[in-house]
């Protein structure tokens, strides 16, 4: 059967600044019904700001947030937030009050249109699912961080929303609870729910999400399926650590010499999304990263040449091929190559 894609959430040129800082910078994104999307980026990238705008807590400076309404049309959230399909949010660290878990969840459930006579059963079902049932009548200010986080997730989905938007839902959860959460999100997706998940935990995201939106400095730098992101990055790289830092003035000459000597073993067509050149030097970590053709013999030749012909230029302390997981690699190549916001703020990058 052919499935017709159906846009359920659309961000158009969405922007938000805090003073001079562009926290969210012209984001465009389209989410289809039933997708599980990961918004991935480093601290300060703009994930929470984006989610707060979708949750209508923050007003965008520019752009539109379109969400499907109950008639099936996309509706501008800022202009009219009524009659949209039900949404559930977990934003930042939930801080709850001196209520019991039961009272709190009942309060949230009553705020929504969830059928009154089904609320109690729904609360029990979810408390059991998240292993909190025995704490049903405990005041939530006595809850541990992870228990509070679980309660935050339950609160987000108590009314069985169509769109579920979670900001760092794994925060504070132990490995078992994280696994359970992943399974649960998959189950919700199988039931046709649309899920949008912000995180910097790449493993968690890669395990469950269909698509990933990579965000840095308020901009979406890639939005694609994990498979497609991976295709771009099928390459081979060796890391060569050296003993002493190379002076900036000496670098171009050394780099040219390396390109010349290592040329037969370097990758022939390097994806410019990965890197513009096949040999890069990183002064902070005192390392060269070399994109080669992937053959073991080539690796052996590269090492031999570096040791024999570059003795006067640098001393090799280690030579290795990184075994990073695919998504970490993507993250490293696409995000960390650009300075993150915290690096700029700390004055590490001008």
Instruction: List residues near Mg ion by CB under 5 A.
Output: 47-48
Return the number of the residue (16 or 122) whose C-beta is nearest ligand ATP: 16
Minimum distance of Mg ion from residue 336's CB (angstroms): 18
Chosen from Mg ion, ligand ATP, none, partner binding at 88 (C-beta under 5 to 8 Å by type): none
Q: Decide: residue 271, CB within 10 A, 0-12 exposed, 13-18 middle, 19+ buried.
A: middle
Chosen from ligand ATP, Mg ion, none, partner binding at 278 (C-beta under 5 to 8 Å by type): none
Return the number of the residue (44 or 254) whose C-beta is nearest ligand ATP: 44
Does 27 help bind ligand ATP (rule: CB under 6 A)?
Answer: no
Does 44 help bind ligand ATP (rule: CB under 6 A)?
Answer: yes
Instruction: Give CA separation, 242 vs 22, 300, 315, in Å.
Output: 38, 17, 5
If you search the block for the tokens 């916001």, which residue do you land on? 341
Which has the closest alpha carbon to 153: 134, 167, 136? Answer: 167
Minimum distance of ligand ATP from residue 41's CB (angstroms): 6
- Which residues are CB-neighbours of 1 under 8 A, at least 6 positions away? none
Chosen from ligand ATP, Mg ion, none, partner binding at 41 (C-beta under 5 to 8 Å by type): ligand ATP
Instruction: Indicate which single residue of 46, 88, 152, 169 sits in contact with ligand ATP (rule: CB under 6 A).
Output: 46
Instruction: Indicate which single residue of 47, 122, 178, 211 sits in contact with ligand ATP (rule: CB under 6 A).
Output: 47
If you search the block for the tokens 């690699």, which residue do you land on? 329
Instruction: Give CA separation, 286 vs 185, 238, 323, in Å.
Output: 42, 14, 19
Instruction: Give CA separation, 77 vs 17, 39, 66, 158, 323, in Å.
Output: 19, 20, 6, 22, 44
Q: Which stretch binds ligand ATP (CB under 6 A): 45-53, 78-86, 279-287, 304-312?
A: 45-53
Tell me the C-alpha distance between 160 and 122, whole Å.
9
Give residues 192-251 in contact with ligand ATP (rule: CB under 6 A): 200
Q: Decide: residue 80, CB within 10 A, 0-12 exposed, 13-18 middle, 19+ buried.
A: exposed
Does 312 help bind ligand ATP (rule: CB under 6 A)?
Answer: no
Return the number of the residue (22 or 299) whose C-beta is nearest ligand ATP: 22
The contact set with ligand ATP (CB under 6 A) reads: 18, 21, 23, 41, 43-49, 200, 341
């Amino acid at each position: 059967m052919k499935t017709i894609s159906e846009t359920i959430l659309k961000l158009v040129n969405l922007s938000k600044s805090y003073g001079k800082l562009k926290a969210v910078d012209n984001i465009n994104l389209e989410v289809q019904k039933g997708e599980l999307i990961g918004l991935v980026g480093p601290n300060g990238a703009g994930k929470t700001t984006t989610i707060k705008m979708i949750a209508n807590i923050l007003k965008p400076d520019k752009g539109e947030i379109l969400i499907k309404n109950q008639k099936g049309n996309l509706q501008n959230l800022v202009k009219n937030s009524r009659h949209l399909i039900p949404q559930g949010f977990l934003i930042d660290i939930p801080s709850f009050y001196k209520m019991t878990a039961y009272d709190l969840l009942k309060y949230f459930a009553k705020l929504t249109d969830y059928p009154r006579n089904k609320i109690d059963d729904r609360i029990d079902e979810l408390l059991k699912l998240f292993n909190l049932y025995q704490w049903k009548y405990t005041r939530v200010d006595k809850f541990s961080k992870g228990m509070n986080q679980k309660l935050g997730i339950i609160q987000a989905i108590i009314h069985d929303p169509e769109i579920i938007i979670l900001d760092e839902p794994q925060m504070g959860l132990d490995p078992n609870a994280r696994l359970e959460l992943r399974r649960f999100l998959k189950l919700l997706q199988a039931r046709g729910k649309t899920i949008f998940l912000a995180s910097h935990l790449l493993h968690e995201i890669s395990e469950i999400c269909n698509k990933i939106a990579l965000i840095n400095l308020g901009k979406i730098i890639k939005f694609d399926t994990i498979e497609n992101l991976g295709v771009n990055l099928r390459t081979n790289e060796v890391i060569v650590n050296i003993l002493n830092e190379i002076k900036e003035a000496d670098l171009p000459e050394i780099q040219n010499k390396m390109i010349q000597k290592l040329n037969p073993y370097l990758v022939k067509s390097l994806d410019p999304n990965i890197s513009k050149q096949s040999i890069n030097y990183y002064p902070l970590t005192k390392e060269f990263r070399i994109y080669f053709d992937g053959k073991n013999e080539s690796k052996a030749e590269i090492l031999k040449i570096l040791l024999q012909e570059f003795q006067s230029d640098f001393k090799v302390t280690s030579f290795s091929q990184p075994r990073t997981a695919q998504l970490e690699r993507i993250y490293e190549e696409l995000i960390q190559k650009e300075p993150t916001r915290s690096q700029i703020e700390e004055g590490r990058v001008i």
